[in-house]
Amino acid sequence: MTKNFLTRCLFLLALAMAVIACQKEEKKRIPMPTTDLSKVSLMPKPLKTVPTHSAFALDQFTAIYTAKGDTGFEQVGKFLSKKLKSKIDLEIPVNQATSNTVERIIYINQSDSVKLGTPEAYQLYINQDSIILNANTAEGAFRGIQTLRQLVPETSNDTLAEQSIWPVPTGKITDSPNFAYRGSMLDVARHFFSVEDVKKYIDLLSYYKINVLHLHLSDDQGWRIEIKSWPKLTEVGGSTEVGGEAGGFYTQEDYKEIVRYAAERYMTIIPEIDMPGHTNAASVSYPFLNGNGKMPKLYEGTHVGFSTFDTRKDTVYAFVDDVVREISAITSGPYFHIGGDESHVTKKKDYIYFVNKVEKIVQKYGKRMIGWDEVAIADIDSTSISHWWSSEKNAKKAVEKGMQIIISPAKKAYLDMSYDSLSKHGLHWAAYIPVDTAYVWSPEEYGEIPLEHILGVEAPLWSETISNIDELEYLAFPRVIGYSELSWSIPKNRDWEDYKIRLADQAPFLDRMNVKYYPSPLIDWKKSKFSYEKIDKD
Ligand code: TNX
């Protein structure tokens, strides 16, 4: 055996290995959109899905048509077109005169026959040459197009046709929410978040059919909304935040823009002015408000429960009246949240006196009052709403008063609780909340709240430990997706094993949106098939 011969053998061996490697490469998974409607990872899970195992070929010959008039359907069609353009870079015309290039249509139809009992219900009929979305209201149609956005594959099926086609699996989806109120809360008081950040959060939430964003606009560390009759609230009270950074606030124009942007996504903004506790920033701005007997100073720490308004002064109620009036005038939704939590330095009788009076002020300006669960100890009206975060006793008291309850138990639904002891952000006074704990519980059975008293579910995100959008996203995603399913989908359709696969399949969307979600080790993100099925080349 010469050296030369050996070199040649080694060379041939290397070549053979390279060829085998190439063949293996060939056999690698090629993403192929599924034609099985029941296999697409929809989030939240729809009420009912019936696959018919074929595909609607979404392509350049597709057009969107909608119900006309001022019903809002045309805007929904345009929203869909815009979102598909950014997803797959395809321009889909909306309500343009029929031309002979149109081969397939998406029709967004106003239909009174959708008998699902809620304004947000919709039906999707996907056939080979048409997709028909039926809804009673544009709000229902808007929820329906979120499902349709999720049905369109991320990449086209280039191998099967001359032009790009995005096959949408055929079948029928019938859908309607389990709860009318599906929310998240953002604390913009402990750390301020810009209008752009809030808009991004709204846009992401609306993709998952969440329809309420509650903004915690004031706390000890900051006052975040312009009140024209009391300008120092923002000049002084808005000037700092936890950690001593610059703080910030929304002008009324900013706030109106947030409300408008949310309304475009059929989302209600709920303003919260937390009182009579959590009011240090207001009292620093106008010291006559203060009732804790100390000289108020700007506060950049994270303790709670040390501040209170002086509940026995008429001028305090004149102040509250102005604040509620100005904010209510620029809030299109029906609710006003008065906080009412952790008023540890307010005497019980003063607290009751205060809440009773403020409830009337809120009603005077045409809003329904919401308060954290403590408010149930006052003489509350049955039309007001209790926001259960901590005390089951208070929640039951609210039920006895005939009130509706929003379910936000800190142990299960607080987005500011860390995932585990290694988490970069968050607190853990209530619990560690890994992604499975966040999902595997039932709002319907949490405590003994009769179902008819449950308005819905909300996941609050307190911001003591987060100061920018990346950190916000780290705590909110992916858990908030689970809360969307807990509030939209019926218990029978919720299952952790099935959910965690669908959750992994959210990665391409979240990545495309540049969402810095927490890559929980409980989720097999890599194994995700991204809504595609494997095709075997053999
Ligand atoms: C309790 S929940 C609070 C907030 C804190 C939060 C931190 C509630 C009504 N009050 O003031 O930010 O815990 O997790």
Closest CA to 456 of 139, 209, 173, 87: 209
For residues 314 and 363, state if they share a domain. Answer: yes
For residues 110 and 192, state if they share a domain. Answer: no
Closest CA to 273 of 200, 188, 348: 188
> Measured from the CB, is residue 462 less than 6 Å from ligand 1?
yes
Q: The domain spanning residue 483 has which CATH number?
A: 3.20.20.80
DSSP-derived secondary structure for 118-174: STT-EEEEE-SSEEEEEESSHHHHHHHHHHHHHHS-SS--TTSSSS--EEEEEEEEE
The last residue of a domain, from among 160, 175, 190: 175
Q: Please give the Cα distance from 323 to 232 (Å, whole number).
A: 13
Closest CA to 63 of 95, 88, 87: 95
> Measured from the CB, is residue 304 less than 6 Å from ligand 1?
yes
CB 41 within 8 Å of CB 499: no
The protein residue whose alpha carbon is closest to atom 13 in ligand 1 is: 462
For residue 530, tell me if it sits in a domain: no
The protein residue whose alpha carbon is closest to atom 5 in ligand 1 is: 462
For residues 36 and 114, state if they share a domain. Answer: yes
- Name the residue of 220, 342, 375, 418 whose CB sits within 8 Å of the most ligand 1 atoms, as the mutation to test its pocket: 342
For residue 483, tell me if it sits in a domain: yes
For residues 283 and 346, state if they share a domain. Answer: yes
Q: What is the pLDDT of residue 31?
A: 53
Q: Please give the Cα distance from 521 to 498 (Å, whole number).
A: 16
Q: Is the dihedral of CA 66, 72, 76, 78 positive or negative?
A: positive
Find the helix packing angle between 496-504 and 479-488, rounded to 10°.
130
For residues 462 and 317, state if they share a domain. Answer: yes
For residues 368 and 431, state if they share a domain. Answer: yes
For residue 311, tell me if it sits in a domain: yes
Q: Please give the Cα distance from 347 to 434 (Å, whole number).
A: 37
The protein residue whose alpha carbon is closest to atom 8 in ligand 1 is: 341
Q: What is the pLDDT of residue 23?
A: 45
For residue 515, tell me if it sits in a domain: no
The secondary structure element, H or E, covering residue 458 is strand 454-461
The last residue of a domain, from among 150, 175, 200: 175
The secondary structure element, H or E, covering residue 222 is strand 222-223
Q: Is the dihedral of CA 240, 242, 244, 245 positive or negative?
A: negative
For residue 517, tell me if it sits in a domain: no
Per-residue exposure over 388-414, b if at least 16 CB sit within 10 Å of its own CB, e if not: bbbbeebbbbbbeeebbbbbbbbebbb
For residues 48 and 125, state if they share a domain. Answer: yes
Q: Please give the Cα distance from 28 to 231 (Å, whole number).
A: 64
Burial class (CB in 10 A: 0-12, 13-18, 19+), 23: exposed
For residue 513, tell me if it sits in a domain: no
Q: Please give the Cα distance from 147 to 44 (Å, whole number).
A: 9
Q: What is the pLDDT of residue 460?
A: 98
Atom of ligand 1 nearest to the CA of 302: 12
For residues 77 and 194, state if they share a domain. Answer: no
- Name the residue of 215, 278, 304, 386 whose CB sits within 8 Å of the most ligand 1 atoms, as the mutation to test its pocket: 304
Q: The domain spanning residue 116 has which CATH number?
A: 3.30.379.10
Q: Please give the Cα distance from 281 to 139 (Å, whole number).
A: 38
Atom of ligand 1 nearest to the CA of 190: 12
> Measured from the CB, is residue 342 less than 6 Å from ligand 1?
yes
- Name the residue of 307, 341, 418 whose CB sits within 8 Å of the most ligand 1 atoms, as the mutation to test its pocket: 341
The protein residue whose alpha carbon is closest to atom 2 in ligand 1 is: 389
Q: Ligand 1 centre from 274 Cα, in Å?
A: 11
The last residue of a domain, from among 105, 140, 175: 175
The secondary structure element, H or E, covering residue 80 is helix 73-88
CB 175 within 8 Å of CB 122: yes
Task: Provide the token pair at 117.
Answer: 């009992």
Q: What is the pLDDT of residue 336?
A: 98
For residues 143 and 157, state if they share a domain. Answer: yes
For residues 152 and 230, state if they share a domain. Answer: no
Task: Provide the token pair at 309.
Answer: 């308004």
For residue 510, tell me if it sits in a domain: no
CB 56 within 8 Å of CB 37: no
Contacts of 229 (CB under 8 A, 6+ apart): 322, 326
Q: Is 154 a catalytic residue?
A: no
Closest CA to 515 of 466, 475, 486: 475
The catalytically annotated residue of 120, 342, 458, 464 is 342
- HSE at residue 333, side-chain half, CA atoms within 13 A, is 28
Domain that holds residue 55: 3-175
The protein residue whose alpha carbon is closest to atom 12 in ligand 1 is: 462
Listed as own residue / partner, the contacts of 398-404 with beta carbons closer than 8 Å and 24 or more positions apart are 398/373, 398/453, 399/449, 399/450, 399/453, 401/376, 403/376, 403/453, 404/453, 404/454, 404/455
Q: What is the pLDDT of residue 80?
A: 98
Atom of ligand 1 nearest to the CA of 342: 10
For 59-97, list the strands marked E by DSSP.
62-66
SS3 content of the chain, % helix, strand, coil (to 5): 35, 20, 45
For residues 152 and 215, state if they share a domain. Answer: no
Q: Please give the Cα distance from 147 to 138 (Å, whole number).
A: 14
Q: Please give the Cα distance from 442 to 155 (Å, whole number).
A: 36
> Measured from the CB, is residue 120 less than 6 Å from ligand 1?
no
Cα of first residue to Cα of last residue in the chain, in angstroms, is 40
For residue 514, tell me if it sits in a domain: no
For residues 393 and 498, state if they share a domain. Answer: yes
Cis bond leading into 460, ω under 30°? Answer: no
What is the full per-residue pLDDT of the chain (538 aa) written as tens digits? 445 554 554 454 454 444 444 444 444 444 567 889 999 999 999 999 999 999 999 999 999 999 998 899 999 999 999 999 999 999 999 999 877 788 999 999 999 876 767 899 999 999 999 999 999 999 999 999 999 999 999 988 766 667 899 999 999 999 999 999 999 999 999 999 999 999 999 999 999 999 999 999 999 999 999 999 999 999 999 999 999 999 999 999 999 999 999 999 999 999 999 999 999 999 999 999 999 999 999 999 999 999 999 999 999 999 999 999 999 999 999 999 999 999 999 999 999 999 999 999 999 999 999 999 999 999 999 999 999 999 999 999 999 999 999 999 999 999 999 999 999 999 999 999 999 999 999 999 999 899 999 999 999 999 999 999 999 999 999 999 999 999 999 999 999 999 999 999 999 999 999 999 999 999 999 765 543 333 332 2
Number of domains in the chain: 2
213-to-173, 250, 492 alpha-carbon distances in Å? 27, 16, 27
Q: What is the pLDDT of residue 19?
A: 42
